[in-house]
Amino acid sequence: MKKQKKIVYRIFDDHEEKHYVMSTLTHKRLENLFEKYKGKKEKVYAKEFLDFLHKHDPKAEEVEVKDFFF
């Protein structure tokens, strides 16, 4: 069985906050879903978009990214 590749996307929402979301969806598919989600909304927030994204990719999750120096 081929393991699905997970991609980490950096997302900036209308709070101007940076979020990282791990998903198995392609960039193009994620763009299409975002356009569908956005619709006529005036503001888009990462947490709400992630809830929407779960319907299309149950494995999607927000991840925390930290710098590691050595």
Q: Does residue 32 surpass a pLDDT of 70?
A: yes
Q: Indicate the residue type of 70.
A: F
How would residue 25 be classed by pLDDT, with cut points 50, 70 and 90? very high
CA–CA gap between residue 24 and residue 42 (Å, rounded): 27
Q: What is the DSSP string of 2-60?
A: PPPPPEEEEEE-TT--EEEEEESS-HHHHHHHHHHHHTT-S---HHHHHHHHHTT-TT-
Please count the other Cβ atoms lying within 10 Å of the Cβ belonging to residue 26: 11
User: What is the residue-averaged pLDDT of the chain?
Assistant: 89
Q: Indicate the residue type of 7.
A: I
Model pTM score? 0.77
Q: Does residue 16 surpass a pLDDT of 70?
A: yes
